[in-house]
Structure 1
Protein backbone atom coordinates (compact mmCIF):
# COMPACT_ATOMS: atom_id res chain seq x y z
CA UNK A 1 0.00 0.00 0.00
CA UNK A 2 2.82 2.40 0.75
CA UNK A 3 4.33 1.85 -2.73
CA UNK A 4 1.08 2.93 -4.40
CA UNK A 5 1.01 6.03 -2.20
CA UNK A 6 4.54 6.89 -3.30
CA UNK A 7 3.62 6.37 -6.99
CA UNK A 8 0.54 8.58 -6.70
CA UNK A 9 2.57 11.23 -4.88
CA UNK A 10 5.29 11.19 -7.55
CA UNK A 11 2.72 11.51 -10.34
CA UNK A 12 1.23 14.54 -8.57
CA UNK A 13 4.65 16.18 -8.19
CA UNK A 14 5.53 15.46 -11.82
CA UNK A 15 2.20 16.89 -13.00
CA UNK A 16 2.75 20.09 -11.04
CA UNK A 17 6.29 20.40 -12.42
CA UNK A 18 5.17 19.99 -16.03
CA UNK A 19 2.28 22.43 -15.55
CA UNK A 20 4.59 25.01 -14.01
CA UNK A 21 7.10 24.72 -16.86
CA UNK A 22 4.57 24.88 -19.66
CA UNK A 23 2.16 27.52 -18.40
CA UNK A 24 4.55 30.12 -17.01
CA UNK A 25 5.60 31.73 -20.28
CA UNK A 26 2.65 32.81 -22.42
CA UNK A 27 3.41 35.17 -25.30
CA UNK A 28 1.02 36.80 -27.74
CA UNK A 29 2.04 36.98 -31.41
CA UNK A 30 0.55 39.50 -33.80
CA UNK A 31 0.94 39.59 -37.56
CA UNK A 32 2.38 42.93 -38.68
CA UNK A 33 3.15 44.72 -41.93
CA UNK A 34 6.85 45.59 -42.25
CA UNK A 35 6.08 48.67 -44.38
CA UNK A 36 3.91 50.15 -41.58
CA UNK A 37 6.87 50.79 -39.24
CA UNK A 38 6.82 54.22 -37.58
CA UNK A 39 9.50 56.19 -35.74
CA UNK A 40 7.95 55.32 -32.34
CA UNK A 41 8.93 51.69 -33.05
CA UNK A 42 5.39 50.50 -33.74
CA UNK A 43 3.90 48.38 -36.50
CA UNK A 44 0.34 48.12 -37.81
CA UNK A 45 -1.31 44.83 -36.80
CA UNK A 46 -2.92 42.99 -39.72
CA UNK A 47 -4.95 39.79 -40.15
CA UNK A 48 -3.16 36.57 -39.10
CA UNK A 49 -3.79 35.07 -42.55
CA UNK A 50 -1.05 37.24 -44.02
CA UNK A 51 1.56 35.56 -41.80
CA UNK A 52 0.03 32.08 -42.09
CA UNK A 53 -0.18 32.09 -45.87
CA UNK A 54 3.46 33.08 -46.32
CA UNK A 55 2.55 36.20 -48.28
CA UNK A 56 5.85 37.98 -48.74
CA UNK A 57 6.97 40.88 -50.84
CA UNK A 58 10.36 42.48 -51.32
CA UNK A 59 13.66 40.84 -50.45
CA UNK A 60 12.95 40.36 -46.73
CA UNK A 61 9.25 39.61 -46.65
CA UNK A 62 6.48 42.06 -45.92
CA UNK A 63 4.55 40.36 -43.13
CA UNK A 64 5.87 38.68 -40.01
CA UNK A 65 4.99 37.63 -36.46
CA UNK A 66 5.76 40.19 -33.76
CA UNK A 67 6.01 38.67 -30.28
CA UNK A 68 4.90 40.31 -27.05
CA UNK A 69 4.71 44.06 -26.93
CA UNK A 70 2.02 46.54 -26.05
CA UNK A 71 -0.91 47.24 -28.32
CA UNK A 72 -2.39 50.67 -28.77
CA UNK A 73 -5.33 50.75 -31.13
CA UNK A 74 -4.33 48.95 -34.32
CA UNK A 75 -0.59 49.29 -33.58
CA UNK A 76 1.90 47.24 -31.53
CA UNK A 77 5.24 48.33 -30.08
CA UNK A 78 7.96 47.27 -27.60
CA UNK A 79 7.87 43.64 -28.74
CA UNK A 80 10.37 41.51 -30.65
CA UNK A 81 10.72 39.79 -34.00
CA UNK A 82 12.70 36.97 -32.33
CA UNK A 83 10.54 33.93 -31.62
CA UNK A 84 10.78 33.10 -27.89
CA UNK A 85 11.89 29.55 -27.07
CA UNK A 86 9.99 27.33 -24.64
CA UNK A 87 6.98 29.67 -24.61
CA UNK A 88 3.34 29.08 -25.39
CA UNK A 89 2.75 31.49 -28.28
CA UNK A 90 -0.77 32.29 -29.44
CA UNK A 91 -2.57 35.01 -31.35
CA UNK A 92 -5.27 37.29 -29.91
CA UNK A 93 -7.81 35.19 -31.86
CA UNK A 94 -6.64 32.06 -29.99
CA UNK A 95 -4.58 30.33 -32.68
CA UNK A 96 -1.54 28.50 -31.27
CA UNK A 97 1.74 29.34 -32.99
CA UNK A 98 3.98 27.30 -30.67
CA UNK A 99 3.36 25.12 -27.65
CA UNK A 100 5.50 25.90 -24.63
CA UNK A 101 7.57 23.66 -22.39
CA UNK A 102 8.93 20.24 -23.28
CA UNK A 103 8.47 19.12 -26.87
CA UNK A 104 7.53 22.54 -28.20
CA UNK A 105 6.87 22.73 -31.91
CA UNK A 106 5.78 25.28 -34.43
CA UNK A 107 2.33 24.92 -35.95
CA UNK A 108 2.42 27.86 -38.36
CA UNK A 109 4.88 29.93 -40.34
CA UNK A 110 6.45 33.14 -39.28
Structure 2
Protein backbone atom coordinates (compact mmCIF):
# COMPACT_ATOMS: atom_id res chain seq x y z
CA UNK A 1 0.00 0.00 0.00
CA UNK A 2 1.37 3.36 -0.94
CA UNK A 3 1.91 5.67 1.94
CA UNK A 4 0.04 8.88 1.91
CA UNK A 5 1.44 11.97 3.32
CA UNK A 6 -0.68 14.98 3.99
CA UNK A 7 0.85 18.32 4.13
CA UNK A 8 -0.79 21.29 5.67
CA UNK A 9 -0.94 24.26 3.39
CA UNK A 10 1.44 27.00 4.31
CA UNK A 11 -1.25 29.56 3.71
CA UNK A 12 -1.06 32.31 6.27
CA UNK A 13 -4.80 32.97 6.35
CA UNK A 14 -5.54 30.60 9.21
CA UNK A 15 -3.75 32.34 12.09
CA UNK A 16 -3.36 35.86 10.76
CA UNK A 17 -7.02 36.19 9.78
CA UNK A 18 -8.09 35.57 13.35
CA UNK A 19 -5.58 38.07 14.73
CA UNK A 20 -6.65 40.72 12.22
CA UNK A 21 -10.33 40.09 13.02
CA UNK A 22 -9.72 40.48 16.75
CA UNK A 23 -7.72 43.65 16.12
CA UNK A 24 -10.52 45.17 14.06
CA UNK A 25 -13.09 44.34 16.74
CA UNK A 26 -10.86 45.90 19.42
CA UNK A 27 -10.37 49.11 17.43
CA UNK A 28 -14.10 49.38 16.73
CA UNK A 29 -14.90 48.79 20.41
CA UNK A 30 -12.55 51.58 21.47
CA UNK A 31 -14.02 53.93 18.86
CA UNK A 32 -17.56 53.24 20.10
CA UNK A 33 -16.49 53.80 23.73
CA UNK A 34 -14.82 57.12 22.88
CA UNK A 35 -17.89 58.25 20.95
CA UNK A 36 -20.19 57.32 23.83
CA UNK A 37 -18.14 59.08 26.50
CA UNK A 38 -17.31 62.05 24.30
CA UNK A 39 -20.97 62.73 23.58
CA UNK A 40 -21.71 63.34 27.28
CA UNK A 41 -19.78 66.59 27.13
CA UNK A 42 -21.76 67.77 24.12
CA UNK A 43 -25.21 66.85 25.39
CA UNK A 44 -25.84 69.33 28.18
CA UNK A 45 -29.39 69.23 29.55
CA UNK A 46 -31.60 72.16 28.54
CA UNK A 47 -33.67 73.91 31.23
CA UNK A 48 -36.30 76.57 30.66
CA UNK A 49 -36.51 79.54 33.04
CA UNK A 50 -39.35 81.94 33.70
CA UNK A 51 -39.07 85.37 35.30
CA UNK A 52 -41.95 85.42 37.79
CA UNK A 53 -43.44 87.56 40.52
CA UNK A 54 -42.00 86.16 43.75
CA UNK A 55 -45.38 85.74 45.41
CA UNK A 56 -46.92 82.32 44.84
CA UNK A 57 -50.62 82.40 43.93
CA UNK A 58 -53.20 80.53 46.03
CA UNK A 59 -53.39 77.78 43.38
CA UNK A 60 -49.60 77.18 43.53
CA UNK A 61 -48.80 79.03 40.30
CA UNK A 62 -46.54 82.00 39.62
CA UNK A 63 -47.29 84.91 37.30
CA UNK A 64 -44.74 85.26 34.48
CA UNK A 65 -43.35 88.75 33.79
CA UNK A 66 -40.86 90.19 31.32
CA UNK A 67 -37.28 88.85 31.65
CA UNK A 68 -35.92 92.36 32.34
CA UNK A 69 -37.37 92.22 35.87
CA UNK A 70 -34.98 89.37 36.71
CA UNK A 71 -31.86 91.18 35.49
CA UNK A 72 -30.26 91.22 38.94
CA UNK A 73 -31.14 94.82 39.75
CA UNK A 74 -33.11 96.10 42.72
CA UNK A 75 -36.18 94.09 41.68
CA UNK A 76 -34.85 90.94 43.40
CA UNK A 77 -37.32 91.15 46.29
CA UNK A 78 -40.29 91.11 43.93
CA UNK A 79 -39.16 88.90 41.02
CA UNK A 80 -36.99 85.84 40.52
CA UNK A 81 -36.10 83.16 37.98
CA UNK A 82 -38.02 79.91 38.26
CA UNK A 83 -36.17 77.01 36.61
CA UNK A 84 -37.88 73.96 35.10
CA UNK A 85 -41.45 75.11 35.66
CA UNK A 86 -44.27 74.05 33.39
CA UNK A 87 -46.98 76.08 31.72
CA UNK A 88 -50.56 75.89 32.90
CA UNK A 89 -53.99 76.23 31.28
CA UNK A 90 -54.01 79.76 32.66
CA UNK A 91 -52.09 81.97 30.21
CA UNK A 92 -49.14 83.82 31.75
CA UNK A 93 -48.77 81.48 34.73
CA UNK A 94 -46.42 78.56 35.45
CA UNK A 95 -46.31 75.84 38.09
CA UNK A 96 -43.52 73.92 39.78
CA UNK A 97 -39.84 74.39 39.16
CA UNK A 98 -37.15 75.59 41.51
CA UNK A 99 -35.48 78.87 42.41
CA UNK A 100 -32.11 77.10 42.56
CA UNK A 101 -30.05 77.47 39.39
CA UNK A 102 -29.48 73.90 38.11
CA UNK A 103 -25.83 72.82 37.79
CA UNK A 104 -24.28 71.79 34.45
CA UNK A 105 -27.21 72.83 32.29
CA UNK A 106 -28.00 75.25 29.51
CA UNK A 107 -30.64 77.62 30.86
CA UNK A 108 -32.71 79.82 28.56
CA UNK A 109 -35.89 81.74 29.31
CA UNK A 110 -39.02 81.10 27.29
CA UNK A 111 -38.38 84.53 25.74
CA UNK A 112 -34.87 83.55 24.61
CA UNK A 113 -32.69 85.16 27.30
CA UNK A 114 -29.64 82.97 27.93
CA UNK A 115 -29.25 82.55 31.67
CA UNK A 116 -26.34 80.12 31.61
CA UNK A 117 -24.62 78.09 28.91
CA UNK A 118 -23.78 74.92 30.87
CA UNK A 119 -20.77 73.56 32.78
CA UNK A 120 -20.27 76.63 34.95
CA UNK A 121 -20.10 79.25 32.25
CA UNK A 122 -20.97 82.76 33.25
CA UNK A 123 -24.56 83.85 33.52
CA UNK A 124 -26.33 86.68 31.73
CA UNK A 125 -29.28 88.42 33.24
CA UNK A 126 -28.58 87.55 36.85
CA UNK A 127 -29.38 84.65 39.08
CA UNK A 128 -32.67 84.70 40.93
CA UNK A 129 -32.80 84.01 44.60
Alignment TM-score > 0.5, same fold: yes
- Root-mean-square deviation over aligned CA pairs: 2.3
User: Deviation at 1:105?
Assistant: 2.2
Match status 1:48 vs 2:67: yes
Summarize the alignment of residues 57-68 of structure 1 with structure 2, pairs less than 5 Å apart: 61-68=77-84
Match status 1:105 vs 2:125: no
Summarize the alignment of residues 11-50 of structure 1 with structure 2, pairs less than 5 Å apart: 13=35, 16-20=39-43, 22=44, 25-35=45-55, 37-50=56-69
1:14-63 per-residue CA deviation (whole Å, 9 max, x = no partner) reads 7534213x2xx11111100113x212221100000111152427xxx101
Greater length-normalized contact order (CA 8 Å, ≥ 6 residues apart): 1
Q: What is the CA–CA distance in structure 1 between the aligned matches of 2:82 and 2:93, rounded to whole Å?
A: 11
Q: What is the CA–CA distance in structure 1 between the aligned matches of 2:74 and 2:61, rounded to whole Å?
A: 21
Match status 1:84 vs 2:112: no
Highest Rg: 1 or 2? 2
| Cα contact 1:70–1:79 (8 A) shared by 2 | yes
Q: Which runs of no fewer than 5 residues in structure 2 stay unpaired?
A: 1-30
Q: What is the CA–CA distance in structure 2 between the aligned matches of 1:100 and 1:26, rounded to whole Å?
A: 9
Q: Which runs of no fewer than 5 residues in structure 1 stay unpaired?
A: 1-8
Mark the CA change 1:53 to 1:85 in structure 2 (over 3 Å): closer, same or farther: closer
Count of residue pairs brought into register by the alignment = 94
TM-score normalised by length of structure 1: 0.72
